[in-house]
Amino acid sequence: MQNRTETCSACLRNVEIALIASPTEVDECMKPMVAMNARGWKPGGAMCIACLERWKRLHYELRSSYPELEASWSKILPTPLRLDASPRYTGRGVTIAFLDSGFYAHPDLTKPANRILKYINLVGSTSPGSLNRPDESSWHGMMTSVVAAGNGFLSRGLYSSIAPDASVVLVKVGTAARIRHEDIERGLRWVLRNRQRYNIRIVNISCGGDREASYLSDPLSAAAEAASRAEIVIVAAIGNAGGNPNHPVLPPASAPSVISVGGLDDKNTLGIEDDEIYHSSYGPTVDGLQKPEIIAPAIWLAAPILPGTPTAEQAALLAELEREKDSELAGIIRRHPGVDSQLDQAQVLDSYHLRNLVQLKIRDSNVISGNYKHVDGTSFAAPIVSSIAAQMIEATPALKPNEVKLALVKSAIPLHGFDRDRQGWGIVNARGAVEAALALGDKENTAP
């Protein structure tokens, strides 16, 4: 006899009738949050038991850890909340190395304790204090490292990462103008030589090589494979060329053992029924491998603004203007001449039009606050997966790279209505991946 099924209006999956929760189990206090985020669900609508448990966790987390967000959904939601990540594991005892164009010692990594174990510049001189001097190449690596391992120090914990206790090693392999194929390889070789010294378990690579290449002959791919054999998990952004006719996947993301990460647009909500694929690259690679393995949020992501730059100065001004009364706007702008030429010229406007201009500039510059903005790209999806891998390794330290990859893909959630070649096994499942890692550890511990 065939089991009867019903569609859960919160996740759009067909589940057995026995796995549908009773409408009375959805607490009244939860309903506004669920209706705001799971837009296919209406009070009294069908909801599976798995979704009900997830929404209960999110509601508790929202009220206990993010009370300022419960009153207003206008801000960018924190990544751990969006991915329902377990707060039990924070990456403690795990080191993530980052290969990128440049870095900055951001307070989200250095306060209250400095978790930067090492910085090295492989394309120039590593001068003392260079991490504390922002330049045009600093911002990208600063953002990727903070997205993965930041503790939200400048947001009072609001924009903490999934692995806020992880240590980091920062390896500069290029500049804002260019990152060369050969220099990414050099970065991986440096990590291989120094992995034991800094306990490097994960490498995040939010950059790609110059060209498509077969992993059978490409030195960069060979370095990635060698790192995997040395029990280092390699996570790489797949790129943002999904709209191109050939949507190329470049090394090192194209290498077989690398966990390549595509992009998800979750609309900055907690529901999943209206999620879409981001315009990320996808396979097959030149070797016929299907990539990516998984997808993670690649837009509407909070990231730090590089301190000491004109962008930071403008963001601080906009954040102050957003907080203050309309009658104060012109005076605040006069006290900050030269920060924003448009605002300088607009201070003669009436308060209504000046407020509208401020709101437009906040929207167009992606400002969240004086210290953070929202960003997009698979460069920032990959660090999310790296932070989840850090949780997994903290939970089960003996995990090998192939086991991390297996747990990630087996726990991933397929994205309804989109081709598998664009999403791999689906959306990264932060909580499910950690549970899978724990199960692998239990299996090893009970093996005869």
pLDDT, tens digit, 9 for 90 and up, residues 364-386: 999 998 999 999 999 999 999 99
Element (H, E) at 68: helix 67-70
Helix/strand/coil for 363: helix
Q: Which of the two residues, 386 and 3, has the higher pLDDT score?
A: 386
Q: Cβ of 197: how many Cβ atoms within 10 Å? A: 11
Compute the C-alpha angle 72/78/84, nearest 5°: 110
* Residue of 249, 250, 240, 282 lying closest to 419 (CA atoms): 282
Q: Which residues of 99-129 are buried (b: 16+ CB within 10 A; e: fewer)?
A: bbbbbbbbbbbbeeeebbbbbebbbeeeeee
Instruction: For the chain, list the domains and their CATH numbers.
Output: 5-74 (3.40.1800), 95-303+375-446 (3.40.50.200), 308-370 (no CATH)
Helix/strand/coil for 171: strand
Distance CA 296, CA 313 (A): 31
Asked if residue 37 has pLDDT above 80, the reply is no
* Residue of 64, 109, 106, 107 lying closest to 87 (CA atoms): 64
Distance CA 148, CA 150 (A): 6
User: Considering the chain, what is the average pLDDT of its residues?
Assistant: 92
Distance CA 182, CA 180 (A): 5
Positions of E strands within 71-199: 95-100, 116-121, 167-172
Least confident range of 89-98, 112-121, 265-274, 365-374: 265-274
In percent, how much of the chain has pLDDT > 70? 96
Tell me the pLDDT tens digit for each residue of 158-217. Answer: 999 999 999 999 999 999 889 999 999 999 999 999 999 999 999 999 999 999 999 999
Tally: H helices and E strands in the chain: 16, 12
Using CA of residue 122, residue 126, residue 132, residue 136, what is the dihedral sign? Answer: negative
The pLDDT of residue 159: 94
Asked if residue 289 has pLDDT above 90, the reply is yes
The pLDDT of residue 61: 78
Cis link prior to 219 (omega < 30° from 0)? no
Contacts of 272 (CB under 8 A, 6+ apart): 11, 12, 38, 266, 413, 415, 427
Asked if residue 73 has pLDDT above 60, the reply is no
Distance CA 212, CA 238 (A): 12
pLDDT band per the 50, 70, 90 thresholds, residue 23: confident
pLDDT band per the 50, 70, 90 thresholds, residue 67: low
Phi, psi of 163 (to 5 degrees): -125, 65
Tell me the pLDDT tens digit for each residue of 80-97. Answer: 999 999 999 999 999 999
The pLDDT of residue 442: 74
- 281-290 mean pLDDT: 96
- DSSP-assigned beta bridge partners for residue 170: 98, 119
pLDDT band per the 50, 70, 90 thresholds, residue 69: low
The pLDDT of residue 9: 85
Asked if residue 39 has pLDDT above 90, the reply is no
- 229-242 mean pLDDT: 97
Say if residue 439 is exposed, middle or buried (CB neighbours under 10 Å; 0-12, 13-18, 19+): middle
Are 153 and 112 contacting, i.e. CB atoms less than 8 angstroms apart? yes
The pLDDT of residue 38: 78
Contacts of 365 (CB under 8 A, 6+ apart): 311, 314, 315, 318, 373
pTM for the full model?
0.89
- 220-237 mean pLDDT: 98
Tell me the C-alpha to C-alpha distance, in Å, between residue 23 and each of 52, 74, 169, 414.
Answer: 10, 28, 49, 26
The pLDDT of residue 1: 46
Asked if residue 268 has pLDDT above 80, the reply is yes
Question: What radius of gyration do the chain's Cα atoms show?
Answer: 23
Alpha helices by DSSP H, 302-429:
310-323, 329-334, 341-346, 351-364, 378-395, 401-411, 420-423
The pLDDT of residue 381: 98
Question: How far is CA 19 from its chain centroid?
Answer: 31
Distance CA 77, CA 13 (A): 24
Are 367 and 319 contacting, i.e. CB atoms less than 8 angstroms apart? yes
pLDDT band per the 50, 70, 90 thresholds, residue 235: very high
pLDDT band per the 50, 70, 90 thresholds, residue 121: very high
Tell me the pLDDT tens digit for each residue of 320-339. Answer: 999 899 999 999 999 999 99
- DSSP-assigned beta bridge partners for residue 372: 304
Asked if residue 74 has pLDDT above 50, the reply is no
pLDDT band per the 50, 70, 90 thresholds, residue 448: very low
Asked if residue 127 has pLDDT above 70, the reply is yes
